[in-house]
Every structure is written in structure tokens, then in C-alpha cells.
Structure 1
Amino acid sequence: MEGNESLSSAMQEQGLTQVELADAVNVRLICSGYEGTVSDRTVRNWVTGKTRWPHPRQREALEAVFGCTAGDLGFSPPARRRRSSNPPEDPVDRRNFLTSSTGAVAAVVPFVGARPQVGTSDVIRLRSGLDALMELDRSRGGHEDLERAALAGAADALEKQKLGATQRIRQRLFSVAADYTATAAWSAIDARQMDRASQLLGRALYLAGMAKDPVAEMRVWNSYAMLAHHRDEYAEAVDAAYAAQGTTIARRLPFFASLAHARTAIGHSNLGDRQAALRSLGHAQEALGKAEGGEPLPSWIAFYGPAELMAMTAIVRDRIGDAAESEAASHQALGTIPKQFKRNRALATARLALAQLHQRDIDQACSTAATVFTLMSGHPIPGRMRSLLGDYYRDLITLAPDASIAREWGDRYRTEWSRL
């Protein structure tokens, strides 16, 4: 069996592994409203020539990824069977004839000038695409293909908004566009593309206002707080977190209020305000305790709960100098973060390593930090996580510059860095 050299060459030119190509194709499929079912095994079958003519949707996605035709990528359709000399009657023509004979032509032939209508089913389809993107984010974090797909989803929602059947449908489509844009912004934050994230958040906030959607508004302010945090603009991070607390949904539902208070606690800890940080953590824990289980929640906030609050507590405790409490909180978080949240588990593991390092437990800290690479095996490490590992390495060589295990971890760090 001959391999597909054209596809292999195209992958090498773009620097794509089989796993990365599978992700890129899935993003395109999700953006088009379909399930992302392509695996690295699917790609391997393409490369080895076992599959010579992918499914039409997969071909379209491949063409979009590489910017050329399936034929240029080395694929060819199977030989066609000989057709009968007497082709079967077109069922559409037959239906038109039958209805015409009963005087019901208008029921079959649409009015040429009719404007297409957009309704609830379109909103649901777009929402399902958004949910699929969030699933992709949970496994590998923010990246360029995810951001591009989210922006395409937002553009699709805004095009359909112009054709909305009712004002309610149009507002719901504005809401979907706001969520897609906020997803793109979040992907940019995770990839540490801060200027682009800021622009996208401004757009998302505008769309949330057009939609009159307090949930989308709260999401944007939460992301603004994270953006300011990663820019070391700690006062702005606190202000954004307070804005999230002030949204209608946070005032009405304790679950959303809890996240806003936890984000505020991180901002205060970065400013060195110990009492304010602990007070906000207490508010977050109290609000989460009041949240009612079983409430339908948007997919973007599915990451939050007791486990994530413990992970955020670990950040706060470490920043205010309580390294032992930070380590304990990290262990609690890792004990309950769902396994599908691979990126979040890797981040919590890196935070655990920092807490151990700040207690001068160098050997254990290095062992813990090394598992981050294992957790993210097969996927590029998002920029936000790379920055956190960079913080760990700087603290490591500051606290134990001559320790042999520190040098060994540094070698591993540089090796993984160059590979990823």
C-alpha cells in the first residue's frame, strides 16, 4: 500500500503532527456545525493511503486547513460504476408533475423573491458548535485554530441575525455571537496574545449589550479580570472582577457570584492585600455553598465548581505567602478536577509544584512540575501554561541554583520547550 506523499509533504510544510492535523480538521468541522470526529488514527489512515478518499465533510475541512484541493493533497475518488443507459426518473421532477396535475404547483415551487427565515433551530445549531469548541478548549487549551473557528461562528451568527424571524431570535443570535467572540478572546488569553484578546473582549461586550444578555456580560468581565491579571495590571483586575459581581446574573445566582468573588480574591492577593483577598475567598465559598445543584449552565462556566475554587484558592494562598495552605488547596483541587479538563489539571499541577518549591521542597517540586509535560503529552502547551512554567523555573534557579535536580529539571524544561 502506497503512502500519501502529497499529504505528508503538506503536513511537514505547515509543521503539523497527526494529532495537530486532527485537531485542525475537527475545528473546521465544528465551525461548520458538525461533530469533530477525526482522530490521529483517521489521519494515519490518510497518510498511509489506507483511506484514499475521505468523507466529503472531512475533505472540505482538509481543503480549508491547507488551502488547496483534496486532489492536490494526494486524494482521489474511487472509480465510478457504469451507469445505466436509462437514468431513473428524477424524483423531484416527478413530484412537481404530480402536484402540478392537482393544481398545487405553488406548494412545490417556492416564491423566488421570498426572504429566508432564521429561527430557533439555527440558534440551537450554533450553540452546539460553541459547546463543541469549549470541549476542545478543555482538552488542549487556547490555540489559533480554536480562535479562528470561534470567530467564524460569531460571523455566522451575525449573518443569520440579519435574517432573524423575530426580535427575540435576533437577540438570541447576538448572544451567540457574543459567546463565540468571548471564546475567541479567551483562546487568545490562554495563548498569551493579550492585545488581540483585549480587542475581542471589547467586541464581545458590545455584542452582549446588544443581546441584553447578563450571562455573556458576566463572562466578558470575568475574562477582562483574567486579562488584567496576566498583564500585571492588578488594580484593573480587581475593578473588572467587581464589574462581574455587579452583573444581573451574579446578583441573582450565587454560582456566578462565587466565580466573581474568587476572581476578586486573586486580584487582591496580587496587590498584597491579604485581608481583602481572604474576605473575597470567604464570599466565594459562601456563595458556592448557596448555589443550587442541577441548574442548567452555559458550557463556558462548566469548569467552575468546588475543584476550581480550590485551584483559585491555591493561587491566592501562594501569593499572600501561605505556601503550605496553597499546597493543601492544590491537592484538594487535583483530587476533584474532572479528568477531561486536562489543561486545568496541568495548571493545578504547576501551581502545586510552585507551592512545594516555595516551601523549599526542591526534589518534590521538580518531580511534580515534570508531570505537567506528561499531562499535556500530544498537545502543544498553551502560552499561559508556558508562562507559569517559566515562573516556576525562575523561582527554582533563584532558590536552588546549585542543586543537581534543579539542573536536571532545567535540561528537561529546555528540551520540552524546544519540542513544543
Structure 2
Amino acid sequence: MAESRNDCLAAWMDEHGMSARELSDAVNEAIRELTGHLGSTTERTVFRWLSGENRWPHERQRRALQAVTGRTATALGFVPRGNRKPNPAPPLEDPVHRRRFCGTATGSAVAFAMPLISASSRPARVGTSDVVRLRDHVENLVALDAKRGGHTALERSALAGASEALGLQRKSTTQRVRQRLFAVASDFTATAAWSLIDAGQLDDAGKHLDRALTLAGMARDTEMIMQVWNLRAMLARQQGEYAEAIAASQAAQATTVARRSPLHTSLAHARAAIGLAHQGDHRAALRSLGRAEDALDKADAHAPRATWIAFYGPAEFYSITAIVRDVVGHPAEAEAASHRALAALPQSYRRNRAHTTTRLALAQLHQGDVEQACATSGEVFTIMAGDPLPGRMRRNLGDFQRELITLAPASHLAHEWTDRYRTEWSTRGHCSR
């Protein structure tokens, strides 16, 4: 029977940025932890798995693969001997749903505040399997953020993860693993910063980003460096430091990953467009927006991408377009872009939908359609029903309220909306800390 490439294993390796050599090393280390003897898996073995030449590893390797990846051999695309057909690849899922929770998956921040690896189970030598385990914890926190929004308990858990990664980095390991641990520590620290940004607690976010950038530099990880500059641009804009936001976006454009990836290039130009629009350089803002659109058109939508940038695509670009167009005084174009963003957003992206709906309401308000704007902004509370409103969302709604009162101070609609806003604020406006 013709050999069948193992796309499931290849997809897992792409998602985790792991080479064949690194996977073989991780499997051998896992075998040593399981049996007391270092495994003999080679880079050639992994290539045979990927090509389908070896469709069912021996038992020790299967157990080690499960320890490294958290997936069974069949979930990784391997086929037990005697099966004529390989198991079909699992259906693609939303990036948030694809991430695994630890333990019972309760989503509790308390679970993430616990040590990631117990002291008694830490191996004397650190390997790639430890990096994979820590990366999974980062993704768990990202999934928790997607569910609950930014909050200080998540920040504390992320900082605990960074401390764990740095503690392992000091143990005996290879230079490559050491750099990967620095990268994971940077990712944890950037996650802590983002949690504060989303919660609207901006004072300490910059300190975390400074630390994340230092760790990313030590890791020589251009993807992480780009992630930090992206967050720095977002933080600076929220602080009203538009020149800094533009400079951070330009630093993101200069990273190696942005120079080689149209997707990253597009995001960096889109961030610059927002900063330029707020600074008042409208012509430059629209030029940057055009560059972002051109680059996004060249990006491969099906190419593997890092978790942090999984959110960016046509829907997010249209949402950013709505912001830029509204700020430069084109509310009709902003309204159209908001509708395009909402049409492109997956239903599971509730917070993105709520943010974009707020921007749509502002665009309608800026066109003088007070009744429609109030109706649209009220949908935000329906979209977020049952969940607290993160700090950024509360700030956006506050902006809408202030502009509504400014543009229509005597309108009964403005008074009705304000009364509802106060009610929603008092009953569930604040994320738990």
C-alpha cells in the first residue's frame, strides 16, 4: 500500500515550532523519564514518521510521544498495524477552542497560579519536552483570557509561568533549549502585560513589556520581539502616547519576521495607521492602511502561525480600518468597514464582536444617527451577556457615552442609554480581580 504522509504530526510540529531533531531529542528524554534509559530515536526516525514510512512507532516511543505532545498516537496520525486506512485528521477548530486546559478544564485562574511543574517531578536535566509543556501552559492562559478577559489573577499566573521557565533555564540543558525557555518566559511575560492592557490597568503593563522584550532578545526570537512591539503600540495608543505607538509599530515593521511574512507586515502597518490617525497625520494613516491591506492580500491564510497572531486576518483588518476611517473623519467608510468585520468574525469571537459593535455605533453616531447608534451600542451588552466587561470595552463604551451626551445632550435616547449603561456597569461592569 502506498505510503501516506502523517499530516497530523506535521501540523503539531509546525504549531509548536519543533524540528525533527528537537522532537527526537524530546522523545528520547521522555523515554529516559519513563524507563530510566535514554531513548534511541533519531532525526531519521521522525522523518520516517512524517513520510508515513513508519506508521506505528514501538510502544516506548508511543508513550513518549504522548508525554511530549499530550496526544495519543492515533490523534497524532499514527495507524495501528493491521488497519487498512489511516484515521481521518481531526476537523480544524477555532484557535481558542484548540487550546487545551489543564486538569479538569474548569477555567479557574487559581489552577494556573499553582506551580507548573512540581519540585519532585522536575528532571535533573531540562529538555524540549519541558518547553512544550510550558508552551501549552501559555496557550491555556491565552484561552482563559479569551473566555474571561484580562484580569490580575491571570497576570499573576502568567508571571508565575515566566518564573518557572527561567528557573528551568538555569538547570543543565542545551543552548537551544535554554533559548527556547527564554522565549517561553518572554511569552508568559507578554501575556501578563496583555492581561493588564485588556483590563485597563495600564501602569504596570509597560514594565512587563520591557522585561518581555529583554527576554525575547536573549532568546533571539524575532516572533516574540514582534509580539512585544505590537503590544507596546497598543499600550501607547491607550495611554495617548501616539508618537510612541507609531515608533513601536515601525520597530515591529523592522523585525525579521515582519520582513519575511506578509501577515506580520500587515499587522505592523495597521498598528502604525491607528497611531498616525490619532496623531492627526491622516494622509500617512491611510497610506499605512493601504500597505497593510496589500500585505494581507499576499499572506497565506492556511500557513501555520504563532498563537499570538492567530487573531489577525480580514476581520481584524476591517475592524482596524473602521477605527482609522472614523478617526480621520470618514464615518460612513468606518461603518462599512465595521459591517465587513462583523461579517467575517467567527461567532465564537465574542469580545472581538463586542468591540467592533462599539466602533460601529460610534461611526453611526458620528453620522448623526443617534437612534441607530444607541440601538447598536446596546447590542454590546447582549453579546457579552453573562460575562464581565473587560476594561478596554468599558473604556470604549465610556467614550460612546461621552460623545452621545456631547452630540445630543437633550435627547431622551441619550438619557435612556446612559441609564442602561449605569445599570450594566453596576451589575457586571467589572472583571473579577
TM-score (norm 2): 0.71
* Distance (whole Å) between structure 2 residues aligned to residue 36 and residue 387 of structure 1: 34
Report the alpha carbon displacement of residue 293 of structure 1 after superposing the two structures with TM.
2.8
Whether the 8 Å CA contact 1:266–1:277 is kept in 2: the answer is yes
1:118 to 104, 114, 126: 126
**Aligned equivalent of 1:142:** 150
Q: Note the residue ranges of structure 1 that are not aligned, 5 or more in a row.
A: 1-31, 40-57, 65-113
Which residues of 2 match residues 11-410 of structure 1 at below 5 A? 34-35=102-103, 37-38=105-106, 61=111, 116-410=124-418
- The code of the aligned residue for 1:156 comes to E
* Distance (whole Å) between structure 2 residues aligned to residue 153 and residue 33 of structure 1: 15
Distance 1:62 1:321, change over 3 A: closer
* Distance (whole Å) between structure 1 residues aligned to residue 355 and residue 404 of structure 2: 17
* Equivalent residue pairs, number: 321
Q: Note the residue ranges of structure 2 that are not aligned, 5 or more in a row.
A: 1-99, 115-121
- The code of the aligned residue for 1:393 comes to Q
Name which one, 1 or 2, has greater alpha-carbon Rg.
1
Report the alpha carbon displacement of residue 360 of structure 1 after superposing the two structures with TM.
0.8
Report the alpha carbon displacement of residue 413 of structure 1 after superposing the two structures with TM.
0.4
Distance 1:62 1:299, change over 3 A: closer
* Distance (whole Å) between structure 2 residues aligned to residue 164 and residue 312 of structure 1: 45
Distance 1:152 1:62, change over 3 A: closer
* Distance (whole Å) between structure 1 residues aligned to residue 141 and residue 232 of structure 2: 20
- The code of the aligned residue for 1:37 comes to A
Distance 1:360 1:164, change over 3 A: farther
* Distance (whole Å) between structure 2 residues aligned to residue 244 and residue 63 of structure 1: 31
Q: What is the CA deviation profile of residues 158-186 of structure 1, one whole-angstrom value per residue up to 9, with x for unaligned ones? A: 11111252000010010011011001101
- The code of the aligned residue for 2:155 comes to E
Q: What is the CA deviation profile of residues 362-418 of structure 1, one whole-angstrom value per residue up to 9, with x for unaligned ones? A: 111111111111112222211111111110000000111111111111000011111
- The code of the aligned residue for 1:259 comes to L
* Distance (whole Å) between structure 1 residues aligned to residue 212 and residue 197 of structure 2: 14
TM-score (norm 1): 0.74
Report the alpha carbon displacement of residue 138 of structure 1 after superposing the two structures with TM.
2.2
- The code of the aligned residue for 2:304 comes to P
Distance 1:319 1:115, change over 3 A: closer
- For the residue of structure 1 that corresponds to 2:286, the secondary structure is helix
* Distance (whole Å) between structure 2 residues aligned to residue 413 and residue 275 of structure 1: 36
Q: Which segment drifts farther, 145-154 or 325-334?
A: 145-154
**Aligned equivalent of 1:411:** 419
Q: What is the CA deviation profile of residues 90-117 of structure 1, one whole-angstrom value per residue up to 9, with x for unaligned ones? A: xxxxxxxxxxxxxxxxxxxxxxxx9701
Distance 1:164 1:298, change over 3 A: farther
Whether the 8 Å CA contact 2:102–2:140 is kept in 1: the answer is no
* Distance (whole Å) between structure 1 residues aligned to residue 313 and residue 283 of structure 2: 23
Report the alpha carbon displacement of residue 255 of structure 1 after superposing the two structures with TM.
0.6
Report the alpha carbon displacement of residue 63 of structure 1 after superposing the two structures with TM.
10
Runs of 4+ in structure 1 deviating by more than 6 angstroms, as ranges, are none
